[in-house]
Amino acid sequence: MHNEQFNNRNVSESYFLVDIEDYPTDGWGRFKRVVKRTFRGELFVGLWVVLREMIKFDIHTIQYPQEKMPIGPRYRAVHEMKRLWESGTERCIGCGLCEKICISDCIRIDTKIDENSRKEVSEYSINLGRCIFCGYCAEVCPELAITHGGRYENASEQREHFVMFEDMLTPIDALKAGKQLEFEGFGAITPHEDERVKKTPLSY
Amino acid sequence: MSEITINIDGKEIKTQEGEYLLNAARANDIFIPAICYLTRCSPTLACRICLVEVDGKQVYACNAKAKDGMNITTTTDAIKSERRAIMEVYDVNHPLQCGVCDQSGECELQNYTLEMGVDSQSYSIKDVERKDKDWGHIHYNPGLCIVCERCVTVCKDMIGDNSLKTVPRGGDALDAEYKDSMPKDAYSMWNKLNKSLIGLTSGEEMLDCTSCGECASVCPVGALVDTHFIYKSNSWELKQIPATCGHCSAGCQISYDVKHASIANPEDKIYRVMNEWNYVSLCGAGRYGFDYENANVTKDEVAFHKAVEAFKKADTIKFTSTITNEEALILEKLKENFGYKLVNNEALAFQTFLKDYSQISGTSLYGSNLKEIAQSNFIVSVGTAIKSDNPNARYSLNNSLTVNKGAALQEESVLYLLLDLFADKEKLPSEISAYLKTFHATKTITVEETIKETIIEIVKTMKMNEETGLEEEVEEEKSKIVPKKISKEVEVDDNKLFELVGAPKDFSETLEKLLAKKDSFSLVVGADLYAHPHAKNLARLVALIEKYSEFKLVMIPSLTNSLGVALINELSSDEGKYSIGYNTKGDFTLSALGDGDFHMPAMNQQEGTLTSINKRVNPTNAALSYGGYELNDIASVLGIVAKNTIDYTRELPTAKGFKAQKFDTLPNHYTNSGEEVRGYELENLAVPHAEDESVEKIDSSLSLGESLIYLVNPVRQFSVFTNKATNLDEVSGVYMSEEFLSKSDFNEGESVRIKSDKGELVATIVSDNKIAGNIVCMPTFDSKLNSEVLFSGYRFTSASIERV
């Protein structure tokens, strides 16, 4: 890679000055500008554009919120909790690494022992008012359980908007319908991972 | 023992001759990996990872003793490959479930696997099914167990319960080819590990021990976990608050591990209690009795005014010794300014005992501490139920043979016996020597001895005569050794004192054998003596023993801070008309239990200092917040003004041995060499003592009836505070030993009426297999039981028991 493009610090070369009139400095000049702007009919120019496009019926704007832009698979919006494909149980094992690594300290987990003597996440919350969507939690998760999702609408009545485990978890019918998507961003398995793993010998 | 110099990795260090290399290295901040070794226990040699090279030879640092001029190399290539192989072996079939393991983050298997850089596995063996076991307060997951045997070692060597042992694992033997291909030590360590798991000595399903939880705390992995803590919190989320345990006078160093209670409740909660298990062992009360805080208290102004009014009205303050030195000083200042009578009978008895003791010893305090007791090899304990009065004292004399006699009112005879056996009679005051002589007599006894005699027998046997081919009778001489019993008359010294203390017949011989190799002696005396009808005489006897024999002396203060209270407060025995009770019943009661007229912070919500049995002033910090008023606020309104209670730490009376140190400067930790850096030690001041060293003779008129009741708490219970803790679930009632129950016609669970000459009460019978002998015990931890009504201060009383 060549560094010449960085070495040339003469930025003015490809720049040009836009032809803009100087701002008026005295009262008379300001008065003239007001009169000019008022009677130029720019309002009607704008109105004509709207009218013209309306008649054409060839609309390019996206009808948000009925319609949404497709977003990239690595986009980091509100978190999702994934389920295991085979059994449908939640992937989260309650290891608490996301809680530990979270740099804005917005994740909290309560765990307990369940009736099958397994660790159970009894409560899980993310304070979206503090979350900076850095992706560390998804990266550190050993089970690919917590990931980011595509839901970016965070409008809320209060600053401390929490998201609970149940809200993030893939609905079981969505899983059965095969609609759960694996996250491709932070923490996802890199291609050819199998080839790089050292295998443990087994005596079975 | 002499100081020597050894060389570890080119660093000259000084240590004691005969010290283990591992300890010497640790004391000098040199790292030698070790998994199975516990500082105060005997080396187990299970992990073999502490391998070092001494002058070209490989030895285990945990059991190799230091000699002058040794050259030690902690790592060589051969040792490195051994250690790596050992760690690989430990990782064989270890579940990769660190995410759900409670030990994760403080796991030594994790640490050493990373330290040795184990990034691949070369060994394998077929696993056997290893199922989780619930042992009551401890949960065992054999799947995670690396059989380092630390739990077994600590239970045997430190605690003395001997409840755990290794049991066979079953399953395949190691692949034969490993023997040649593997490093030697790693192979033999694996060979041993592969054959065992941990099980219960009793062979039953549940642990039946003193429930100290020390096994779980020393476990390097998540195999042994406290049942109450399973999957509650990751260790790294917990904040450790250094403190001093407030349950008994041992004053163990602990740390309260706190974290927010839940997502919904941001208030701190204590999740567990941890200890520096290499240097201090906790008892069950210390480890599991942590949630006795006075929660959800707010500043109630109305109640506060009532409390101040009550203080203005009162002329007596009754309190218990579960109190910090600072608060005791506040009470003392209140007394000086407003003339309150301070009433605390238990501390008063101890104070009086100490004063009587000083009369002869000339020192304000007893001479020794628990550390010295642990190092001595002949220990006598008198007048204490050591298991429940001060478990840490019990740990320090664990492994020593004890002859337990549950004999009430025999304390005088026992002390006289000690004087007789061990004191230097030349130096003893002549009257005492003369008195001791009166117990001795020579008597002739018939001893049966077995001697071996050689007898020659003539045996007739049939033999084939080879020449003639006929069978002939041949006489042969055979010598035979047969035991024969003969009686012999010998003159022996007959010591009536043995009889007086109720010792078994062969006691003096047993004692003689025991004493054969002993060179350091210790005497531990307890609360039975302080409240004894002849306490004064006993105190003088104890002082004489310390003065004229080699015995080192420790007194067990009856409650948490009895020693501090005895030094700080001037106590009186009689109550006035209107009393304030602090953690005890009064006309106006201040209580940290939340059941009084006014709330007080519990010990885990206070900062301050506590005086321990080791004559140490230990600082303790507040683990949990407290929202209400405390004693200092009341005193401030009354005119004894200080911003914080701990401002009084530097005002503790230097005339009694305290030091004028600020609370914030007091340290609370152990160093790598095991040195206790906690608070400061009380100065043992010289006090004027009387020339008169006379003691009263044994008063044989004192006796109690046949059915004795002893005022003692069960193991893991000390006070109303331990009773409040959720994890200590001892059933309250009248405790009867199994021996007593089998002899009487009472059954467990029955209600009985107990009547002594002081009073009577009704209680439920609880069978306790931890009480030895034929005795009935009443606990004090349950305030509902109110067992004090039966007793007059002395811990024994005779009483009648009948079914209700």
**What is the nearest CA distance from A131 to chain B, expressed in angstroms?**
16
The reply to whether B549 and B570 lie within a common domain is no
The reply to whether B203 and B279 lie within a common domain is no
Cα–Cα distance, A68 to B63 (Å, whole number):
72
Minimal Cα distance from A204: which residue of B?
Answer: B126
Minimal Cα distance from A99: which residue of B?
Answer: B237
**What is the nearest CA distance from A170 to chain B, expressed in angstroms?**
22
Question: Tell me, what's the pLDDT at A6?
Answer: 65
Identify whether B604 is part of a domain: no
Identify whether B170 is part of a domain: yes
The reply to whether B441 and B538 lie within a common domain is yes
Nearest Cβ partner of A108 from B119, B124, B263? B263
The reply to whether B468 and B549 lie within a common domain is yes
For the CA atoms of chain B, what is the radius of gyration?
A: 31
A79-188 domain in CATH 3.30.70.3270?
Answer: yes
A160 interfacial to chain B (CB closer than 8 Å) = no
Buried residues in B36-64 as b, exposed as e (16+ CB within 10 A): bbbbbbebbebbbbbbbbbeeebbbbbeb
Minimal Cα distance from A116: which residue of B?
Answer: B132
Which of A144, A198, A202 to substitute to test the interface with B, most B CBs within 10 Å?
A202
Cα–Cα distance, A141 to A146 (Å, whole number):
7
Question: Tell me, what's the pLDDT at B405?
Answer: 44
The reply to whether B522 and B393 lie within a common domain is yes
DSSP letters for A69-130: ----TT---SEEE-B-TTT--B------HHHHH-TT--EEEEEEE-TTS-EEEEEEEEETTT
Question: SS3 of B678, please?
Answer: strand
The domain locations on chain A are 13-56, 79-188
pTM exceeds 0.90: no
Last residue of a domain, one of B533, B555, B577: B555
Cα–Cα distance, A113 to B228 (Å, whole number):
10
Residues of chain A with pLDDT under 50: none
Is A100 within 8 Å of B236 when comparing Cβ atoms? yes
- Angle CA(B528)–CA(B531)–CA(B537) in degrees, nearest 5? 90
Buried residues in B373-400 as b, exposed as e (16+ CB within 10 A): bbebebbbbbbbbbbbbbbbbbbbbbeb
Q: Are B776 and B735 in contact (CB under 8 A)?
A: yes
Cα–Cα distance, B625 to B629 (Å, whole number):
12
Contacts of A198 in chain B (CB under 8 A): 119-121
Question: Tell me, what's the pLDDT at B403?
Answer: 44
The reply to whether B231 and B243 lie within a common domain is no
Identify whether B88 is part of a domain: yes
User: For the domain that residue B141 is a member of, what is the CATH number?
Assistant: 3.30.70.20
Cα–Cα distance, B187 to B180 (Å, whole number):
9
Question: Hey, CA dihedral for B299, B256, B727, B104, is it positive or negative?
Answer: positive
Question: Tell me, what's the pLDDT at B401?
Answer: 44
**What is the nearest CA distance from B123 to chain A, expressed in angstroms?**
7
DSSP letters for B16-46: ETT-BHHHHHHHTT-----SS--TTS----S
Q: How many CA atoms lie within 13 A of B747 on its CB side?
A: 2
Cα–Cα distance, B20 to B23 (Å, whole number):
5
The reply to whether B438 and B449 lie within a common domain is yes
Nearest Cβ partner of A119 from B124, B175, B231? B231
Give a three-class secondary structure readout of B446-494: EEEEEEEEEEEEEEEEEEECCCCCCEEEEEEEEEEEEEEEEEEEEEEEE
What the block records as the tokens of B765 is 């019978």
A200 interfacial to chain B (CB closer than 8 Å) = yes
Question: Tell me, what's the pLDDT at B757?
Answer: 82
The reply to whether B396 and B514 lie within a common domain is yes
**Count of CB atoms situated within 10 Å of the CB of B688:** 7
Domain carrying residue B447: 370-555
The reply to whether B419 and B306 lie within a common domain is no
Nearest Cβ partner of A123 from B233, B234, B263? B263
Identify whether B361 is part of a domain: no
The total domain count for chain B is 6
Contacts of A202 in chain B (CB under 8 A): 124
Which of A108, A112, A121, A165 to substitute to test the interface with B, most B CBs within 10 Å?
A108
The reply to whether B87 and B30 lie within a common domain is no
In chain B the first and final C-alpha atoms are separated, in Å, by 63
**What is the nearest CA distance from A116 to chain B, expressed in angstroms?**
11
Give me the residue label for tokens 């099958």. A116
Q: Are B178 and B187 in contact (CB under 8 A)?
A: yes
Minimal Cα distance from B96: which residue of A?
Answer: A142
Identify whether B161 is part of a domain: yes
A97 interfacial to chain B (CB closer than 8 Å) = yes
Nearest Cβ partner of A113 from B97, B120, B231? B231
Is A95 within 8 Å of B237 when comparing Cβ atoms? no
Q: How many CA atoms lie within 13 A of A113 on its CB side?
A: 13
What the block records as the tokens of A129 is 């008012």
Residues of chain B with pLDDT under 50: 399-407
Q: Are B797 and B236 in contact (CB under 8 A)?
A: no
The reply to whether B317 and B444 lie within a common domain is no
Give me the residue label for tokens 């102004």. B301
Q: Do the interacting molecules here have an ipTM over 0.90?
A: no
Question: Tell me, what's the pLDDT at B402?
Answer: 45
The reply to whether B473 and B405 lie within a common domain is yes
